[in-house]
Structure 1
Amino acid sequence: MTTTTPTAGAVPGTAPAARKAPARRHPYLAALRTPRGLTGLALVALIVLGGLFAPLLSGHDPTAQSGLGLAAPGTAGHPLGTDDLGRDLLGRVLYGIRTDLGVIALAVPLGALLGCLFALLAAAHPVADTAVQRVFDLILAFPGLILALAVTAVLGPGRLPVILVIALAEIPVFGRQLRGGILVQREREYVVAARVGGTSSSRALVRHILPNAADPLVVQLALSLTVAVFLEGAMSFLGVGVRPPEPTLGSVLNQSMPYLADAPQFAAGPLLAVTVLVLGLSLVADALNREIRR
């Protein structure tokens, strides 16, 4: 007869406690802690903080004109110089960042929300699905700038038309993304098993399908913010965006075009801000996408 000896520290008559598996970090947090994610967050944070603390960093009214004309960097307390109307370039770039961030931070989530609502409507009934798809096709038939010109032709230039254009452009992007995820997930075995067990279709959608179908939307949100930066900049550059004298990165860049040969620093500020912001958002989106695909 073979006898067993209890292990050290074990209480006789009790089974050894099962070793718990280490808790897995949330995939989004894990993605943002990678070198790519941290670099992207640092770049985005740099631009966001520059916009938030524009009054402290600039010290000048971005719309106040002076007699300096097109002054060189470092002239009379202007680190980046002044524009052709004597306005502080650093202040206009920083306040332009604030304006751009305010627009895209409102427009992209609005477009995402409306797109997701359309996707849920499409998942409810085949007839609604067909109608929603035709709405998406109609919006996608207009390229971003053509859509911008059409909206501003009706409403005129300003902040509200820019928000509407960006939101409209993002509706089919998020709507198709979520609709495709719902169609894939609701045919999975775990959803079929839940329905066989008596779970209603609406409960299965909320409890099982949406949490798994919505993962790619986080990546799409970062990508859409990048596209929104370009779209807002293009509208301001063409003069159909936010009305002057309120600065935006696109309007400051447009104003610098006649002076590129004589004063390249005029365009350097807005170009650098757009580049850093877009690069940061792209790195964050790529880090999230890599983690989700693992």
Structure 2
Amino acid sequence: MKIPHVLQKLFRRRIVLVAAICLLLVVIVAIFASVLTPFDPNDTAVSQRLSKPTMEHILGTDELGRDLFARIAFGGRYSLTIAALTAGGAIVFGTLFGLLAGFFRKLDAPVMRVVDAMMSFPDILLAIALVAILGPSMLNVVLALVLVYTPRVARVVRASTLVVRELLFVEAARALGVSTGRILWRHILPNLMSPILVQTSFIFAYAILAEAALSFLGVGVPPEIPTWGTMVAGSQQYAQQALWIVLFPGLAIILTALSLQLLGDGVRDLLDPRLKKSL
């Protein structure tokens, strides 16, 4: 299937196209933040603290006089990086454990019992506990979120592997003496790409929300790192005086997470029309 044809089918629904455009704009703003704004996100100007949006400061300033647009743009780099690393780590380890549990019957029970035990805790509570143990830093937040979302991927991959391993082409490969590693890599893994791609988009969105929640609760990345979550957490006490310092970072979180969720729905419906639902 050619890429233009795939994109045409994916963006057939306008809401998915709008979500993709919004997500692309967020990524562009984060990448080209230094070009789009002349302000440094950490430069303070106390005389201009809590200024309303103006032509100079298009989104206003925060409690220390820092340009809010600059902080949101540069903060997007950190928030998106945390989410991308979380999604990548969860997909890699979740796929590995799911493949092992689904293909090797002896490993199924012990691996899935560990997965079930981890999934018995609410995601945010488990993340808080892990960050509290590891310590507040950007790397530790990523590690904690990877541990939280790996079981989710492992269950999906295991379920798909249980189906694929019984198909005729896998049985034929076994009969021909193909090695187990080659069967997993060349015959089973390519047939799991649909659920893996969908899970990637969802976990990306979940990670953005989870990072914001951890920062809001004071157990996420250090306050000096301007992620969207730390901006909301640090500005909440000034919300009644200057609503925009909480509103705009919150909108960035909502817009990005919602766009990822809608795009994930579109990818899921494209790869498996049986699950299609109207939006």
The reply to whether TM is greater than 0.5 is yes
Measure how far apart 1:31 and its partner are: 4.3
Q: Does 1:131 align with 2:110?
A: yes
Contact preservation (8 Å) 1:139, 1:172: yes
Measure how far apart 1:272 and its partner are: 1.7
Q: Does 1:41 align with 2:41?
A: no
Q: Does 1:107 align with 2:116?
A: no
Counterparts of 1:7-46 in structure 2 under 5 Å?
Answer: 24-25=1-2, 29-34=7-12, 35-46=14-25
Measure how far apart 1:36 and its partner are: 4.0
DSSP-derived class of the 2:219 partner: coil
Q: Partners in 2 of 1:198 and 1:148 — Cα distance?
A: 44
Contact preservation (8 Å) 1:37, 1:287: yes
Indicate how the Cα distance of structure 1 residues 195 and 156 shifts in structure 2: closer, same or farther if over 3 A, else same: closer
Choose which of 192, 206, 215 in structure 2 pairs with 1:227.
206
Amino acid at match of 1:63: N
Measure how far apart 1:85 and its partner are: 1.4
Task: Report the equivalent of 1:212.
Answer: 191
DSSP-derived class of the 2:147 partner: helix
Task: Report the equivalent of 2:31.
Answer: 52
Amino acid at match of 2:2: R
Contact preservation (8 Å) 1:31, 1:290: no
**Who wins on radius of gyration, i.e. which is larger?**
1
Choose which of 75, 80, 83 in structure 1 pairs with 2:59.
80
Amino acid at match of 1:271: G
Q: Partners in 2 of 1:236 and 1:215 — Cα distance?
A: 32
Contact preservation (8 Å) 1:229, 1:278: yes
What CA RMSD, in Å, does the superposition of the two structures yield over aligned residues?
2.0
Q: Partners in 2 of 1:206 and 1:69 — Cα distance?
A: 57
TM-score normalised according to structure 1 size: 0.84
Unaligned runs of 5+ in 2: 274-279
Counterparts of 1:255-270 in structure 2 under 5 Å?
Answer: 255-270=234-249
Amino acid at match of 2:44: Q
- Give deviations 1:19-77, integer Å, cap 9, x for gaps: xxxxx4358545444334432221111101111111222211211221222111117x2
Q: Partners in 2 of 1:111 and 1:138 — Cα distance?
A: 17
Q: Partners in 1 of 2:180 and 2:63 — Cα distance?
A: 63
- Give deviations 1:196-238, integer Å, cap 9, x for gaps: 4554544333332222123211011111111111001101111
Amino acid at match of 1:240: V
Unaligned runs of 5+ in 1: 1-23
TM-score normalised according to structure 2 size: 0.89
Q: Partners in 2 of 1:31 and 1:169 — Cα distance?
A: 33
Measure how far apart 1:271 and its partner are: 1.7
DSSP-derived class of the 2:66 partner: coil
Amino acid at match of 1:51: A
Amino acid at match of 1:173: R
Identity over the aligned pairs, expressed in percent? 37
Contact preservation (8 Å) 2:83, 2:205: no
Measure how far apart 1:181 and its partner are: 0.8
